[in-house]
């Protein structure tokens, strides 16, 4: 049933792609395999984690909150995690390819400090069409507030050295790994070479089944 649902979802996803809602940057630099992954960890100690910390399967998503493709994949990633609640965790790495992306990341990081990262992430992504490529990301702030963010505290702390450090290190890792399109997924270190809900589900499933 889960596979059938994802197959149907894949067809809908393809319609979104061909309608132009899916934003992908050029990945054609000779290979999809990153040249220096062995020198740059895909996961940092500070990286946001959704799901069990000790899950044996890790999805790493290089993620731009203002990317329409990231928004399109977001519910499917949640479906995959729901299918394997004990075995799969999601780690997010930030990519800032769009206007407003950095401030959106700062919103998310202040939400993490307030202990409401996941609901604010869901709200900000749902509202993305209203703030996409808006440097002021007003609708993102509104969405975050609706999910429980203390906006006054968030604005006071959004430019902290800790958040600056996260953004700077992620930017360095994005460059080192060679990320040129979002979203880019790795599952237990293996890159998802063809982007789509079914492809991601199949890769995750193969990793889960290998545990048995």
Query: What pLDDT tens digit does each residue of the chain (212 aa) get?
Result: 554 455 445 444 444 443 334 444 333 333 334 333 344 589 999 999 999 999 999 999 999 999 999 999 999 999 999 999 999 999 999 999 998 999 999 999 999 999 999 999 999 999 999 998 788 899 999 999 999 999 999 999 999 999 999 999 999 999 999 999 999 999 999 999 999 999 999 999 999 999 98
3-state secondary structure of 64: coil
What is the spatial distance between Cα 82 and Cα 63, in angstroms, rounded to a whole number? 20
| Of the candidates 131, 199, 183, the residue with the CA atom closest to the CA atom of residue 22 | 183
| Of the candidates 79, 101, 93, the residue with the CA atom closest to the CA atom of residue 23 | 101
Structure tokens at 104: 């959106």
For the chain, the residue count is 212
In this prediction, residue 133 carries a pLDDT of 76
Q: Where are the domains of the chain?
A: 2-209
Structure tokens at 26: 């050029």
In this prediction, residue 135 carries a pLDDT of 82
Tell me if 149 sits within 8 A of 83, measured CB to CB: no
From the candidate CATH numbers 3.40.30.10, 3.90.1150.200, 2.40.30.330, 1.10.1060.10, the one assigned to the domain spanning 2-209 = 3.40.30.10
Q: At what angle do helices 2-18 and 197-209 cross, to 10 degrees?
A: 150
In this prediction, residue 212 carries a pLDDT of 80
């Amino acid at each position: 049933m889960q596979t059938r649902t994802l197959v149907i979802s894949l067809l809908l996803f393809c319609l979104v792609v061909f309608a132009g809602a899916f934003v992908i940057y050029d990945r054609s630099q000779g290979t999809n395999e990153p040249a220096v992954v062995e020198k740059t960890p895909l996961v940092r100690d500070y990286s946001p984690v959704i799901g069990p910390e000790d899950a044996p399967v890790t999805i790493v998503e290089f993620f731009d909150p203002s990317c329409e493709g990231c928004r399109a994949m977001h519910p499917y990633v949640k479906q995959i995690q729901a299918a394997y609640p004990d075995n799969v965790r999601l780690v997010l790495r930030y990519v800032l390819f769009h206007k407003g992306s950095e401030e959106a990341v700062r919103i998310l990081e202040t939400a993490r400090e307030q202990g409401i990262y996941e609901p604010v992430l869901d709200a900000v992504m749902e509202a993305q069409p209203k703030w996409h490529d808006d440097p002021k990301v007003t609708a993102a702030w509104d969405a975050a507030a609706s999910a429980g963010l203390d906006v006054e505290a968030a604005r006071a702390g959004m430019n902290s050295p800790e958040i600056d450090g996260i953004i700077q290190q992620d930017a360095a890792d994005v460059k080192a790994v060679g990320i040129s399109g979002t979203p880019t997924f790795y599952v237990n270190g293996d890159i998802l070479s063809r982007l789509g809900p079914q492809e991601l589900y199949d890769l995750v499933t193969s990793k889960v089944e290998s545990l048995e």
